[in-house]
Structures are given as structure tokens and as C-alpha cells.
Amino acid sequence: MNVLKFGGTSVGTVESLKNVRSIVEALPSDTVVVVSALGGLTDRLIATARLAAEGGDWRTEADAIAERHYIIIEELVRPDRKQSTLTVVGSLLDELRRTYEGVSLIGDLPAKTLDVIVSLGERMSAPIVAGIIKNGHLHNSLDFIKTEKWFDKNIADASLTRDLIIKEFVDIEKGPHVTGGFISQDRDTGEITNLGRGGSDYTAALIAAALDADMLDIWTDVDGFMTADPRIIKDAIVLPAMSFIESMELCTFGAKVIYPPTIYPVFHKNIPIRILNTFNPTAPGTLISDASCAKEYPVKGVTAIRNTCLVRLSGNLTENVAGINTRAYNALARNGVSVFLLAQPGENHEFSFAIASADRQVATRALNEEFAPELIDGALDSISFEDGLSTIAVVGEGIRHLKGVNGRILNTLMRFGIKPLACSEGNSDTTFSFVVEEKDTVGAIKAIHGLFF
Ligand code: ADP
Ligand code: ASP
Ligand code: MG
């Protein structure tokens, strides 16, 4: 059996939903379909919530949101399901209005309230899509996607979620099954949570892994995984195949095609992923599996993470490189901060690594605590932070066999007048990454993409 996930643009309009319907209705009844909110709706739900908190006219926005759902129900939901779908979606729209009303009255938008508001996107799209597809059987993902608190984040409780998914889909033949992605419920408090922006991919992966699916199909609005973001590189190439590791690296370093945590659960079960285009369903797409096709495509792509912060430890540190790096890395990990680039030590024993700018405050505290003895005895002069940067990554399992590849990348940057502020230590065989000023992001991607493709 296959698990299919349709993103926002795929479920955004009457026309795109007709494509979804014909794709799903051509498949066996044991198919599971995971859907996002209508395209752009999550952003709009958030913007309207902020508007309500500021005392703005949220009612006009709420009316437009309602109208968009009603048009799709009217045009596409099967006649025998129309009334029940209208009832369900109508009461969710009432809940949305009441919540906005409350936000507007108190003039504040607590995080938990925002979680409830954004959840309504998928809570409405799922019954609509179930009502469009012949024999569509609706499942409430809040019943089986459970999260736990990890620092200030909500992360999936993988084993509880797996057990609940197996129970929920026990009658797998009686589908096709439809459920909302992204949304979840806190296993302890019962509060509505979510898996993070773009998280519907992850919901689909958790279901595919729990049910031992044959394939996870991510249906989106491009022909497959490309060598760069097609919005930046107009002639980016669609890759026929890549390995799990390569896709994981590309997505971790900013390729928006798949939400990064998605890959691990299916990789673990060796379930291949296909990236397919809802608007061009006969295109072959990209197959992500344990094979890399490294001969044909040694390099798979160039990506960027904006909002990078470079952390520098400078001073007369006597401890070895590995020791310092490990201590910094562990101190950050204990505080929920991930490091996406460890740089080669600089000339005057400067250690630097890249983190997300959003983690700067937590990182400052964690590193000052960890290195307090060195800061006091003078072995460490300072811990400094530089924002306004981007991390660029070049990914491919064949990269390690290319002669002098790091030098070629650095020379190319130089020719384009771009100065890397830090380069990865080469701790991954698959990825070479470096940090540049944010203003050089597009220039660096273009230069490196031109070098390899
Ligand atoms: P969905 O709503 O279907 O989840 P997303 O917007 O999350 O879709 O992801 C698909 C988008 O990712 C594409 O429209 C494309 O603009 C963007 N993208 C960024 N990098 C890449 C890449 N390397 N290959 C393909 N698409 C990419
Ligand atoms: N609707 C959510 C978002 O826009 C989840 C998703 O689309 O994957 O982030
Ligand atoms: Mg997405």
C-alpha cells in the first residue's frame, strides 16, 4: 500500500483538487491520503490572528476564508456527502470566528491559541477532500499523532504515535483513507499542537513507517527534487533519483521540497519516497531510496539556510580541536540547539560554528556556562555571535570522489567576489558547506550551481 501526501497548492483550488481526485481514485482502496490546509491558508490564518490581536478587521478575512471553503464544497464534494461536510466545516468555521473574537477582545495572541487557529486549516481540508474522493474515509489525526514537549518545541512521540496509527488503520482495505497532516495533540495535556511548518510531509512519513507502506508519494507543484530552488535557479534540473542521505542533507540545508524530519522514519524502514507533480502527474518525478545514482550525478544540488548565526570562540585554547568542538556541540545539544556547520579552525585558534539565528539567545547562555572556567582564567577571550549570514551547502554522495572539489568551490566563489566566512570541516562525506553574508546568498547559489550543472 502507498501513502500519498498532497501539499497546499495541490489542494488549493477546484482545478487542482480535481487532479487529486483522479490520482487517488485510480489507486487501490488501501491507500492513505494526507492533506495540507488549502494553499496559503496557514499563512492567512496566522496573519488574521495577528490582525485580530492588534484590533484590526479580522471579520472580512474570516469571511473570505469561509467563502473559499464553501466554494470548494459546493463545486466538488459528492452529493451524498455535501450536507455532512457543510455541517462539519461550518462548525469549524464557527470555532475559528469565536477564537478570533476572543483574541481580539483580549488583544493578545497566546501561543496555544495560535496552535488552535492554525490547526483549523487541516481540520477543514481533510473532511472536504474525504468528501470529494469516492468512498473517502475520514480519520482525525489528533487521535493518533501525539507530541511531547522538548524544550520549547513539540516533537512527535514516535512509539505512541506508531501504536495508535496501527490501531487507527486496522481496516486498511476499507479506504481510501484521508487525514489532515501537520496537526497533532499533546499526549499529556490533550492540547492541540503541530509538527512545525511544512509538517504534513512528516505526518505522512509517520503513517507510512507505522503501516510498512511500499511507497511514500509526496505530491507537490514541481516535477521532482531539483538541483536548486527553481525560484532562484530558473534552469535547475529535475533529478531522477537520489539517496535518503542526500535528500536528508539537502532538506536539512534548506531545500523546501520535503520537511526535514520526514525522511528519517521512512529511511529507517527502507520505504522509498517519490516526489511527484499534481499538475503533471505523468512526469516520472524523483525516487528517493537507498541508491544514489552517484555516477550520473555526483553532486545533487546546492541549497541555503538563511538566518544563520556564526558563533566564534577565540583565545589561547590549549585543548585539542575535537575536545572543544565536542564540548560546544554537546552544550548546545543539551539545550535543544542544533549546529549545522562546524568550521575548520581559523588561523589564531578560532573555533566557529553555525546555528540558526533564532537560537542565539539560548546558545549564548549555554556556551557561557560551558566555557565559564576558560573565560575566567583567560584561556578564552570571548564568545562572539554574528547574525545576518547564510549557510550554503553542496550535496552529493559522489562529491568525495571529485578531485579538488573544495578548492574549485572556493575559487569559484572568489571569482564572483564572494568571501566565505567559514567552511565546514568536512565531517560529512556527502556535504561541503560554507557561510557567507546573507546578501551573497543568491550569488553564491548561482555561482556554485553553474560550476556543477
Ligand atoms: P507543498 O505545499 O506541496 O508542501 P512546498 O512549497 O512545501 O510544497 O514545497 C515545494 C516547493 O519547494 C516548490 O514549489 C519549490 O519552489 C520549492 N523548492 C525549493 N528547493 C527546491 C528543490 N531543490 N527542488 C524542488 N523544489 C524546491
Ligand atoms: N499547512 C501547514 C503549513 O503550511 C503544513 C503543511 O502544509 O505541510 O505549514
Ligand atoms: Mg511542503
Phi, psi of 50 (to 5 degrees): -65, -40
* pLDDT tens profile 244-260: 999 999 999 999 999 99
Residues with Cβ < 8 Å from 205, sequence gap 6 or more?
3, 216, 261, 262, 263, 264, 265, 266, 273
Q: Is there a contact between 332 and 363 (Cβ–Cβ < 8 Å)?
A: yes
pLDDT bucket at 426, cuts 50 / 70 / 90: low
* pLDDT tens profile 102-114: 999 999 999 999 9
Ligand nearest to the CA of 184: 2
Residues with CB under 6 A from ligand 1: 7-10, 36, 198, 220-222, 225-226, 228-231, 255-257, 301
Point out the ligand 2 atom lying closest to the alpha carbon of residue 43: 4
Q: Is the pLDDT of residue 322 over 80?
A: no
Q: From CA 210, how far away is CA 207, in angstroms rounded?
A: 5
* pLDDT tens profile 208-231: 999 999 999 999 999 999 999 999
Please tell me the predicted confidence (pLDDT) of residue 348. Answer: 66
Please tell me the predicted confidence (pLDDT) of residue 6. Answer: 98
Q: Which run of H or E residues covers position 382?
A: strand 380-395
Please write down the long-range contacts of 367-376, taking CB distance under 8 Å and 24 or more positions apart. 367/311, 367/313, 367/328, 367/331, 367/332, 369/331, 370/327, 370/328, 370/331, 371/313, 371/327, 371/328, 374/315, 374/317
Angle of the 41-53 helix axis to the 79-106 helix axis, nearest 10: 30
pLDDT bucket at 292, cuts 50 / 70 / 90: confident
Please tell me the predicted confidence (pLDDT) of residue 342. Answer: 87
pLDDT bucket at 380, cuts 50 / 70 / 90: confident
Give the whole-number percent of the chain exceeding pLDDT 70. Answer: 98
Gap from CA of 353 to ligand 1 centroid (Å): 27
pLDDT bucket at 379, cuts 50 / 70 / 90: confident
Give the whole-number percent of the chain exceeding pLDDT 90. Answer: 88
Q: Is the pLDDT of residue 425 over 70?
A: no
Please tell me the predicted confidence (pLDDT) of residue 318. Answer: 65
Please tell me the predicted confidence (pLDDT) of residue 119. Answer: 98
Q: Is the pLDDT of residue 99 over 60?
A: yes
Q: Is the pLDDT of residue 421 over 90?
A: yes
Q: Is the pLDDT of residue 340 over 90?
A: no
